[in-house]
Structure formats: structure tokens, C-alpha cells
Structure 1
């Protein structure tokens, strides 16, 4: 069975990681995956797919698709003859629904479009993108949400028969010493944009410093707010305990999680929260914002902590300092990952949906 996967690019970002892992962790020799990237990619990203024996194509599309881009996709489809086309994200969904709706299609719903598109592009463009996304989804045969929260978002707009498959995370557990008795090492892995709400995290770090709680805080990631965040750090006199690391390779991300004690996650909107589960996989509790999807991932004060206010975040850190709390929560975080979020489980569940679609 041939599955053509249409993605915006091959960069190691949330939706792409999910799509890649479905193929990478397939144990069924009857499946063949072909990835078609709308945009050109670095040799490093292309090689990553080659290492996993996954065939790839680059379309070379710009910001929006033109007729030549559609013709390239058409030629690939005619050459490869896929049984199913699996789309991820905005433009792949739009392109397939408008031009190739006669083919069996499935989409993974990664986000709350109204929230995410508005945060990223502003209210007017965000509303337009949400409208066109929902219209395009009407022509997609099968819809998979990455959480119950995302399923409910789309059900409220009139869509039915949406299945839920949680994102799976590769097991990359490594041993690390914790220094939580003397100093707590906190990390955030985040794009530096409005939605990720890093200024909130910095306010929390300032409160911890004011309370004489010994912390070190690293921010992994880059984005349009970098310069403002740098100034904010200096203006709040926390440059001695905050390190703005910048963007790093995915393998390095796990190294920074390993060196940390706790993940701080202050996002305003998420469809899932991949990095939270990555942290749990590595036995690192996460202190997270009170957004709907976090209640599916974090069992409050059991494997992580959900915080509603700045004071809640501070109380969470203080709680972890207490005897045995950290060890218990770390072990529970790992157990939750093993029971619900293993990558092999995700791959099997998607391939079961592919089988259902073609009646095998």
C-alpha cells in the first residue's frame, strides 16, 4: 500500500515529526511511504529521510502555490499512484481538496486553526485561513485529531466522525543527575512568538529569584520576539540566571532536557504539546499552562503541574523542592508516556486507519 504524505517541508517541526515517525516506525512491510514537500529543503533534512529509507520529493513552492506547483504534484501522483494521500497543515490540505479530491485522502488536525492562525498572522488573515481550511476539510475523506480537545474544536464547527490518535514520541530516555536539592534547572523549548508566551515564563523566573529560590533557566528556540525577549531579560535583571540558547538541532534538544530538572511550558494555545510529552518521556516533570489539551496529558500534581497563575507556577516549583515529591512525579511522568504516547502505538493506529480506508 502506497501512502503519499504531503507536508509543507521536511524541517523537524511538530507536524513533520509526527508524519515522519508514522513512516519511520512502521512495522508493516506492506506499507510504502512517499513524502512530498511543498518547499525546498536542506540536504541535512533530505538525508534524514534517506537514512530512514523514505522516498522524498521537493516541489519548490513559494509562499503560495501556483499552477506549476500543482502540475508537479500531479506528475508525482501519476508516477507513484498512491493508494492514500495523507496531508498535514494548511497548504497541503487546501491543495489536495481543491485539485485531487478524487483520491482517497486523510488529514491530521494539528491545531485549533482560529487560535493558531490568529496568533501567527493576525485576526483578519487568521479568520480567512480558518474559513478556507474548514471548507477544504469537507473534501477530505478521513480526519484524525491529535487530541480530544482538537476533536471538540472541529466538532463544534459541524464536522463529524473525527478519530483521535495522540502524537507518539520516540523513546530517548537517558540517565541524568538532578540537582534539585540545591538548585533547580528549568528549561523551555519554544518558538519565540506571541502564542508561546515566553514573557510569562520570564515573569515567573523573576518571582522565583525575588523569593531567593535558586534557579537556572534556559530557553531553547528562536523567533520574531528574540530581540524583545533579550531586552526584557536585561530590564528585569535576570540575565544572571537566564540563558537564551537559540535554535538547536533536535538531538541537542533532548540533551538540554536531560540537563534540566523541569520543563516550563507557558503556551497560550496548543493542539497537543509535543515537548511536554518529550519531557515526560525523559522523566522530567512539566509545569504547564492551564489550556484544554494539557488536561489530557498532565495529571495535576501526579506527573506534572497545571498552573493557572504566576503564583501557581511558583508554588509548583516550591512543591518540587519538598522531600520525595520530585522523584515520585518524575516516575509518574515516565509511566504516563509509556502508557499513552509511545511512537510505535501511534504508527500502528494510523496504519489501522489506512487499512480501514481501503477496506483491507
Structure 2
């Protein structure tokens, strides 16, 4: 039983990779997947083993309470062997439900980015930590998706015996398309093509990037922005050396990575950095901020790290960029991805965890 809240972006990619793997396992007979109707991308459903439910929900106190009772009922009826919870809010209402019933289900929780590491007040961070400690009482295992996340969780004294580090991963295969995308046409520039992929919000640092682009006068670069605004009425002004491509269907996203020269990730906080390994998969160099787990994805051979509090450090990187160097770093990044961040390795570790929790023979 996989349960998420707003299953989009990185969480959606993660769940889809897991489902593709688990449906191929002979000892998996039925998988139930729950995601909010609102703000969730389509979940992988190309198997008769999968039952997908999109439930009515929006982020409010009323719906949080409603979800506690909703999942209390579902868990009692379905009696799943494994309950795998994805993201903070789902972690809250599902585990609150588990406090109210006797269940033999093994509970695994992945925050996909700890709430207490967000760019918010210290008071809120303390509340988030207290909540996570209480909710960990009805959790068998906690998966951390990066070294940074794991270390920070240990630092605030979440139960270390329950925690496990399993790096995020994605498939090394390129997505097959029946139709050819327009990526090469939309990104037809002789300049160095810089690509941003992500939500247009504070966390992803789109404002930091656009502020830099407006002030940076070097004409050797063109910036391409892929992603959608989180607010319907949000107006964003894009400079003349920037092309906004909107939201791109995930089945075509590899084409846009391949059409670029370098991928930039200026996030304020990041539990992992899925865009970085998507770039590496497509043999592209990366430029990342020095926040969250992003620096651990970069070595001297595959990209650059800039100080988010010192925009001059980003300018220094751009002043020295050359296409040949970017190509070399992209090739190095691909090997780094193959060695460390494929979904096959991630999924084998997750499935091994399932079997250990269920005391299956050969896994203890």
C-alpha cells in the first residue's frame, strides 16, 4: 500500500519507479496506490496488480482530520502487509490513523525532504521535529533519500535504529516516444543553453535565477525555463535572454535535457535533487546551490557548486564556462549516475527492506 498526498514532481517520479519494479516481482500480488485528486500527476498504472485511488483532498485542517478517518477505515479493510508512506502530510494523517487501530502492517515512511529543513522559522522547525518524533513511534522504518537528510535526522535525534539511507534513483533508460518533441526547435540557439527544470517557487529558487539573469550581461548564454507556477495568479517577468517553455510532459523531458548544454538548480532547500540526476542521465553538466543535499551530487568532474548567499560565486562560474568543458563534465556525470543513482539499486534495497520486515526467509 503506497500512500501519498500531492503526488507530483520528484515524489511522482519516485513512486512510479518503485511501482514499475514491484509489479514485476512474483511475490507481489496486489498494490494499492493512494494520491490526492488535486495537484497529483498521473501515477504508473500499467499493471493489473495496481489499484489506484485518487481521493478528494486539499491541504486544510478539515481534510487532514478527514484523511485520518479515511485511512483508518482503508487500513482496517485492506490489512496490507506493507504501508509505504510518501511525504510529510501523508506521513502525518496516515500515522495518526495508525495510532487509533491495531494493525499488523509494517509501516515505512519517507518524507522526501524533512519539513524541519525548510527555510522557515526556528519555532516551526521545533514543532515539526516534535511531530516527527511522536509519529515515529508507529513507524517501523524511516527511509532517508540522501546523506544530508540522514545526517540531519540523526542530528535532531530521530530514532537512528529505525532509519535507513537509500539514495534516490531513476531509470537509466531514456523514455521512448511515439512522437518527436519540439525540444531541438524550441532550444535552437548557438549560445550556451542553460536549462532550469522545476516548480516556479521559492524553494526551487526561480527568483534567485531570474534576478541573476537580469543583471548578468554576458551574451554567450540563453536560459530556458521548464515548470509551472504554484499560484494561479502569479505573474513572473522573464528577461529577454530567457525562454519560458511552460510545463513539459514527462515523456518528453529527456529531449529537453539533451538539447541543453548545462542544467542549473538554484534551490534554497532540497532533500535530494532529482533534476540533478536526470541531467546526469542525459550527460549534462550541473550547476547547483550549496543548500541541502545538492552538493553531495557534485564532484569536481561533473559540475559546479555556488554559494546561494553570494551571487558573485555564480557569476564566476558562468564567466569561465566553455562548451567543451561542459561536454566532458556531462560525460563524467553520466558515469557518476550509473555508479550511484540508478533506480534498480534503489528498488532492490527497498524490496529487501520489505522482506526483512516481513521476516521472509533469506532476508534476515
> TM over 0.5: same fold?
yes
Q: Equivalent residue for 1:95?
A: 93
Which runs of structure 2 are paired with 1:154-303 in the superposition (5 Å)?
154-159=153-158, 160-161=160-161, 162-173=163-174, 182-208=190-216, 210-211=217-218, 213-224=219-230, 230-231=236-237, 233=238, 238=239, 240-300=240-300, 302-303=301-302
Which runs of structure 2 are paired with 1:87-126 in the superposition (5 Å)?
87-101=85-99, 102=103, 103-116=105-118, 119=120
Q: Hey, what's the Cα distance between the residues in 1 that align with 2:18 and 2:333? A: 23
Name whichever of 324-333 and 312-321 sits farther off.
Answer: 312-321
Q: Hey, what's the Cα distance between the residues in 2 that align with 1:271 and 1:110? A: 6
TM-superposed deviation, 1:216: 1.3
Which residue, out of 47, 51, 56, partners 2:46? 51
Q: Is the 8 A contact 1:172 1:282 kept in 2?
A: no
Q: Equivalent residue for 2:142?
A: 143
Q: Hey, what's the Cα distance between the residues in 2 that align with 1:154 and 1:292? A: 13
Residue segments in structure 1 that go unaligned for 5+ positions in a row? none
Distance of aligned partners of 1:32 and 1:270 in 2 relative to their CA distance in 1, 3 Å threshold: farther
Distance of aligned partners of 1:12 and 1:285 in 2 relative to their CA distance in 1, 3 Å threshold: same
TM-superposed deviation, 1:342: 0.6
Q: Hey, what's the Cα distance between the residues in 1 that align with 2:65 and 2:318? A: 54
**TM-score relative to the length of structure 1:** 0.83
Larger proportion of helix: 1
Q: Hey, what's the Cα distance between the residues in 1 that align with 2:34 and 2:253? A: 24
TM-superposed deviation, 1:110: 1.4
Q: Hey, what's the Cα distance between the residues in 2 that align with 1:52 and 1:137? A: 32
Q: Is the 8 A contact 1:59 1:73 kept in 2?
A: no
Q: Equivalent residue for 2:351?
A: 351
Q: Equivalent residue for 1:29?
A: 26
**TM-score relative to the length of structure 2:** 0.82
Which residue, out of 8, 28, 45, partners 1:12? 8
Distance of aligned partners of 1:128 and 1:111 in 2 relative to their CA distance in 1, 3 Å threshold: same
Deviations 1:249-294 (A, max 9, x none): 2223323222211111110100000111101110011111012412
TM-superposed deviation, 1:89: 1.2
Q: Equivalent residue for 2:180?
A: none
Deviations 1:161-214 (A, max 9, x none): 22111111122448x99x999410111112111122222212332454x23x42
SS of the aligned residue for 2:291 comes to coil
Q: Hey, what's the Cα distance between the residues in 2 that align with 1:229 and 1:205? A: 17
Q: Equivalent residue for 1:39?
A: 36
SS of the aligned residue for 1:51 comes to coil
Distance of aligned partners of 1:189 and 1:145 in 2 relative to their CA distance in 1, 3 Å threshold: same
Distance of aligned partners of 1:76 and 1:157 in 2 relative to their CA distance in 1, 3 Å threshold: same
